[in-house]
Each structure stands twice: as C-alpha cells, then as structure tokens.
Amino acid sequence: MTNPKFSKIGIITKRNIHEHKDLLKKLVAYLKKKKKQIILDENAAAVFGEKGFRKTDLLKKADMSIILGGDGTLLKTARRLPSPKTYVLSVNLGTLGFLTECNAENLFEALDIIFKGKYELDKRSVLRVTVYREKQKIETYLALNDAVINQGAFARLIKLDLKIGDKNLVTFRADGMVVATPTGSTAHSLSAGGPIIHPKIEGLVITPICPNSLAMRPIVIPDTRELTVTIDTERREETAIIGLTLDGQDMSILKYGDQIKFRKSKRHLYLLRTGNRYYQMLRTKLKWGL
C-alpha cells in the first residue's frame, strides 16, 4: 500500500515553546518552502502573534501533525484523537523521548524522508476508558499509555473486582492496578512489575500494584475483550480518595460501586518513522547492558 502524502501540516507544541522559538520559526519556513499548508496550535501561533487552533480542531484539519515537545506532549495529543487515523511525527525537546522519532538536530532530515513518501507507519492502539456510576455513564476517556486506579492520601488497600467480558476473573486487594496498552507497557506497568509488550502485539496488560496476595500477577489479555473493574471499597473520609489517572496526566475521582470499562478504541495513532529502531530504543532508554 502506498504511503499517504501530506499537504496540510499541523504543528503542536508544548507550553514553553518560546524556549525553542528559533526551531519553530525554522520549521515554518521549511514547510512554506515545501509549499505545505501550515496549521498552528495556540502555543505555536502565540510565537507569531496569531490565535491558532485548539489541538482537537487542529488534528481534524491536518493531514499530519508535527509534535514539538516530548512524550508528555505526545500523550496529551493522543487523548484528543478526533478520527480513526491520525498521523504524527513526534520530535523530542524533552528528557526521555521514549516514543518520539527524532530530535531537533535531525528533524529536517526526517521530514525530507517523509515528504518523499519513504517513511514507515508505526500503528499504536489507544485505550478507551468509560466510567459508570449507578448504571449511568459519567465520562469516557482515551489513553495512549495506560489508565491507573490507585489510592489517594492514605496507604490503605482497595478492593477491586475484575471481569473480562461476562466472565468473573478475580476479586483482590491492592494499592491499585494498571491497565496498559502495548505502548504503555514500558511506563507505569513496567515499574509495577509488568512485562514489556511489543507494540504490534494486540493485547492489554493488567498489572496489580502491590497486591496483598503473591498469587496476583500481571496478565495479558486479547484487546478484543472488554475489561470491567468495580470499585468494591468504600471511602468515607474526604481525603481518602480513589483516583483514575490517564497517562499519568489527567485524573478523575472514583467512588464506591463505580464500574470502569476498558477496551481498545477504534481510533489509532500512527507514528511516522524513518526506520525501525524499536529494539535499539529499548536498549538505549532502559540502559540494557550498561
């Protein structure tokens, strides 16, 4: 299949893009020279004294988006995906850069390859998380990495009931649990003892956080299944909250009896790659052999 060609290019940036305004201006000049239509988000547009678009609106308009930031900016963008296919080139201006493709030094080399149509598509699944309270839908979220149910201020165990499809799996007590995509298997889930899952594996990782039973272990299930988690612990103190955290960035408060349903979204994020460096990335970022 022929790779899509891109003419409408969105630019999404982190908040402190003013620290990298020279790179942004150079990128805009490069895209104009390539005769591309440029769509700026609010942060990027402010550098030029313009208004700009909200990220969700920008993603709807652009054929592909260039993300100037890091993993955090990419994760925030992924939770706003407006359509089944969204193409992005992520540029690391941060510290970790686990998911990004390039840095400022090789950005234009990467863009030359992409505009010649010689890039590879790295398809990443997205987690859809829906909260129900008293059988009423409260909110639906997207997450590229993971959704975490965990404690608030008090270090007390919470009781969670897990069901896969219509089958009861287990009821257990723990500090919490992580539900991760393969992309997120190298994030919070890995820190909690979960496995590393290659992005092409079609699965979801369920990782308990400090369970009271050593028999509770991480499990990988097919991403065609729906996972339902019921909060079976009541908290009376206002400070003893139970939270649902998306990609380590957005948080929602959960209550006793809430049901949280997890499944793979119909939306996907397509990361533009100039080569397959997944295993190299693991060695470098996880410092294997050092």
By annotation, the residues acting in catalysis are 71
Q: What is the DSSP letter of 181?
A: -
Burial of 225 (0-12, 13-18, 19+ CB in 10 A): middle
Question: How many whole angstroms separate alpha carbon 19 and alpha carbon 216?
Answer: 46
What is the total residue count of the chain? 290
Question: How many whole angstroms separate alpha carbon 284 and alpha carbon 148?
Answer: 26
Dihedral sign for Cα 258, 264, 270, 273, please: positive
Cα dihedral 279, 281, 285, 286 in deg (nearest 10):
-10
Cα 266 to the center of its chain, rounded Å: 14
**CB count, 10 Å around CB of 286?**
13
Question: How many whole angstroms separate alpha carbon 270 and alpha carbon 89?
Answer: 9
